[in-house]
C-alpha cells in the first residue's frame, strides 16, 4: 500500500497567489522585526519556510489507498488504558464528557503524553478533534507522532489565535521545520478544530478543518508512538479537550505491541504461587497476595509471560497493605539482570504512608536516584494506584494519579520485572495485596 499520486495543476495559479501573499507577510514582519503575542519571531526562518511552502503547493496530492484501522479512541469512560491521567505540577489530565482533557495552571508549560497501547507506527493517516474549552488564545495544541524514546519526536500544533507550527525534537533539542505562522483555516477562540495528518516515509501533509495548510519533508524519525501536546505561554489557564482519534496505517504493518491485563479473578498464568519458610504468594479474593513470614526477609515474584525481559514498558497496578507495620517497603524491580544473581536492577519502593523511592543496584552497590519523597495526597491504609513507565533512559512514577518521580538514568537497558515486598520492621508478618495489573510492552524489545 501507500499513497496514490494525483496532479493538482489546476490549482497552481491559486498556489502562486497564496505564496506571494505569504511572502509579503513574511517580508513585512522581517523588516519590522515584529514579534507576535506568543513571542514567535516571524523573521526567523523566512527562506526555509518559503522553500517549504513552495514545495508544498507544487507537490502532488497524496491520497491513502485502502487504509487499515490502527487505532480508534473515542474517549468513552473515566479510565482508558494508555492515556495518562493525574496531576504533575501545573499540568492536569483527565477523562470527562467523552473526551481527554488537559489543563495547564502555570505559564510557559508544555504537557504531552503518548498513547502507547496500540504500539508504534510510521506511515499513517491520523484524524482528531481538538477543542479549546477555555483560557487564553495564546497557546498551542496538537499531535505528537513518531515518538522514539522520551526525547525524539515530531509535533504539529495550532493555536487559539490562529497559528500553526511543525517541529521535531532530536535528543531533546527542538528544531523548527515550519516556524509558527498564521493559519487562516484555524477556527479561533473557544472552538473545535479537526486535524488530519498524513505521514508517508519522509513526506508529511497537514490539514486543518479539511483545508490543506502545510506539506513538509524530513527523514529524522521513521516510526514511533502517537500522542497529544498542549502548551501555555504568557498566561495560565489553558484548557483543551481531545476526541474522536482515528488512525489508519498505510505502507508496512506497524510493530507488534502487547497489552496484558491481570485482575486475579482466577489463578494467574503470569505470577507464581510460593509457600516456603520466608514468604508465601497466592491468588485469593481477586488479588495477588504476598506475605513475608519472617523479619528481615523479602519476597520476590517475577513476571512469567511469553517474554521475560523488557526494555521500554508501562506497568500499572493497585496495591494495599493488608496487615503489618506501615513502614515496611514494597514495590517493583525492573530491568533486572537475571543472569547475574539479581545484582543489577532498578528498584521502586513505597511505604504505606505515601513515601516513595527509586534506586538502582549494580554489582552490590546501591545508588539512590530519587530519595524518599513525600506524597501528601496519599491516604494511609487505603489501596494505591502506581503507574511506572520506563522509556529509554527516562523513568517516571505516579502514585494515585499524581506524578511523584521523574528521573533520567541509562545504566540498565533491559531485564526482568518482579514484585517485591520487604519485612524490615523487626516484627514478623507483613502482608501486601496487588491487583489490576496492566503491562504494556513491545514484543520485539
Cell of 117: 497501547
With cut-offs at 50, 70 and 90, classify the pLDDT of residue 257: low
Are 180 and 40 in contact, with CB atoms under 8 Å apart? yes
> Tell me: the pLDDT tens digits for 246-255?
999 887 666 6
Mean pLDDT rounded to a whole number for the chain: 83
More confident position, 193 or 26:
193
Residue 2 has a pLDDT of 33
Q: Which of 196, 199, 195, 158 is nearest to 180 (CA)?
A: 158
Q: Which residues contact 227 (CB under 8 A, 6 or more apart)?
A: 112, 113, 114, 115, 143, 144, 145, 147, 153
More confident position, 442 or 435:
435
Tell me, yes or no, whether 89 and 196 share the same domain.
Answer: yes
Tell me, yes or no, whether 237 and 341 share the same domain.
Answer: no
Whether residue 50 is contained in a domain is answered as no
Whether residue 74 is contained in a domain is answered as yes
Cell of 442: 513491545
Residue 56 has a pLDDT of 37
Tell me, yes or no, whether 241 and 386 share the same domain.
Answer: no
Average of pLDDT values for 227-243? Answer: 97
Residue 443 has a pLDDT of 57
Residue 83 has a pLDDT of 86
> Tell me: the pLDDT tens digits for 274-326?
999 999 999 999 999 999 998 889 999 999 988 888 988 889 999 999 998 88
Of 193, 226, 255, the one marking the end of a domain is 255
Are 304 and 269 in contact, with CB atoms under 8 Å apart? yes
> Tell me: the pLDDT tens digits for 390-408?
988 999 999 998 889 999 9
Instruction: Output the domain CATH number for residue 301.
Output: 2.60.120.560
Tell me, yes or no, whether 339 and 423 share the same domain.
Answer: yes
Query: CA-based angle 36:172:122, to the nearest 5?
Result: 95
Whether residue 32 is contained in a domain is answered as no
> Domain limits at 127?
63-255
Average of pLDDT values for 339-364? Answer: 88
With cut-offs at 50, 70 and 90, classify the pLDDT of residue 23: very low
Whether residue 146 is contained in a domain is answered as yes
Of 234, 255, 276, the one marking the end of a domain is 255
Cell of 434: 496487588
A 10 A CB-CB count for 109 gives 17
Residue 442 has a pLDDT of 67
Residue 25 has a pLDDT of 41
Whether residue 34 is contained in a domain is answered as no
Query: What is the residue-wise DSSP string for 140-176?
Result: EEEEEEEE-STT-EEEEEE-TTSEEEEEEEETTEEEE
Query: CA-based angle 48:49:54, to the nearest 5?
Result: 100
> Distance between CA 55 and CA 280 in Å, rounded?
66
Residue 6 has a pLDDT of 29
Residue 65 has a pLDDT of 59
Tell me, yes or no, whether 77 and 221 share the same domain.
Answer: yes
More confident position, 169 or 324:
169
Of 255, 270, 292, the one marking the end of a domain is 255
Distances (CA, A) of 133 to 44, 88, 160, 234: 31, 20, 10, 18
Whether residue 41 is contained in a domain is answered as no
Q: 265-295: string of b/e by CB count within 10 Å (b at 16+)? A: eeebeebeeeeeeebbbbbeeebbbbbbbee
Residue 72 has a pLDDT of 86
Tell me, yes or no, whether 271 and 415 share the same domain.
Answer: yes
Residue 8 has a pLDDT of 30
Are 143 and 229 in contact, with CB atoms under 8 Å apart? yes
For the chain, the domain total comes to 2
Residue 64 has a pLDDT of 55
Tell me, yes or no, whether 379 and 284 share the same domain.
Answer: yes
Amino acid at each position: 500500500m501507500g499513497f496514490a499520486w494525483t496532479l493538482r495543476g489546476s490549482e497552481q495559479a491559486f498556489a502562486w497567489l497564496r505564496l506571494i501573499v505569504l511572502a509579503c507577510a513574511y517580508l513585512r514582519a522581517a523588516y519590522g522585526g515584529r514579534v507576535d503575542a506568543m513571542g514567535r519571531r516571524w523573521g526567523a526562518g523566512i527562506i526555509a519556510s518559503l522553500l517549504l511552502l513552495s514545495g508544498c503547493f507544487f507537490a502532488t496530492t497524496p491520497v491513502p489507498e485502502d487504509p487499515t484501522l490502527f487505532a480508534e479512541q473515542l474517549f468513552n469512560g473515566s479510565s482508558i488504558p494508555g492515556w495518562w491521567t493525574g496531576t504533575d505540577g501545573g499540568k492536569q489530565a483527565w477523562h470527562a464528557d467523552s473526551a481527554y482533557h488537559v489543563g495547564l495552571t502555570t505559564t510557559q508549560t508544555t504537557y504531552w503524553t503518548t498513547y502507547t497501547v496500540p504500539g508504534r507506527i510510521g506511515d499513517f493517516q491520523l484524524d482528531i478533534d481538538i477543542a479549546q474549552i477555555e483560557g487564553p488564545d495564546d497557546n498551542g495544541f496538537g499531535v505528537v507522532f513518531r515518538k522514539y524514546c522520551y526525547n525524539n519526536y515530531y509535533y504539529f500544533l495550532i493555536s487559539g489565535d490562529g497559528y500553526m507550527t511543525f517541529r521535531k525534537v532530536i535528543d531533546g533539542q527542538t528544531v523548527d521545520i515550519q516556524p509558527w505562522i498564521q493559519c487562516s483555516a484555524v477556527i479561533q477562540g473557544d472552538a473545535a478544530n479537526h486535524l488530519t495528518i498524513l505521514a508517508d516515509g519522509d513526506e508529511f501533509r497537514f490539514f486543518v478543518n479539511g483545508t490543506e495548510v502545510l506539506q513538509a519533508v524530513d527523514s529524522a524519525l521513521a516510526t514511533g508512538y502517537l500522542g497529544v501536546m498542549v502548551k501555555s505561554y504568557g498566561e495560565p489557564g489553558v484548557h483543551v479537550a481531545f476526541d474522536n482519534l482515528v488512525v489508519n496505517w498505510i505502507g508496512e504493518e506497524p510493530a507488534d505491541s502487547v497489552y496484558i491485563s491481570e485482575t486475579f479473578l482466577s489463578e494467574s498464568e503470569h505470577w507464581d504461587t510460593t509457600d516456603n519458610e520466608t514468604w508465601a504468594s497466592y491468588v485469593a479474593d481477586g488479588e495477588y497476595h504476598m506475605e513475608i513470614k519472617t523479619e528481615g526477609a523479602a519476597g520476590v515474584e517475577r513476571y512469567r509471560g511469553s517474554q521475560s525481559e523488557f526494555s521500554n514498558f508501562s506497568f500499572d497496578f493497585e496495591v494495599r497493605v493488608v496487615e503489618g507495620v506501615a513502614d515496611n517497603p514494597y514495590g517493583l524491580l525492573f530491568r533486572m539482570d537475571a543472569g547475574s544473581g539479581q545484582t543489577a536492577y532498578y528498584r521502586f519502593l513505597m511505604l504505606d504512608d505515601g513515601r516513595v523511592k527509586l534506586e538502582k543496584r549494580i554489582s552490590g552497590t546501591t545508588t539512590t536516584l530519587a530519595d524518599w519523597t513525600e506524597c501528601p495526597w496519599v491516604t494511609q491504609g487505603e489501596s494505591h494506584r502506581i503507574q511506572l513507565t520506563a522509556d529509554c533512559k527516562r523513568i517516571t512514577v505516579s502514585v494515585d494519579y499524581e506524578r511523584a518521580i521523574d528521573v533520567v538514568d541509562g545504566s540498565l537497558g533491559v531485564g526482568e520485572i518482579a514484585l517485591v515486598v520487604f519485612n524490615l520492621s523487626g516484627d514478623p508478618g507483613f502482608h501486601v495485596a496487588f491487583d489490576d495489573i496492566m503491562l504494556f510492552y513491545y514484543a520485539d524489545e
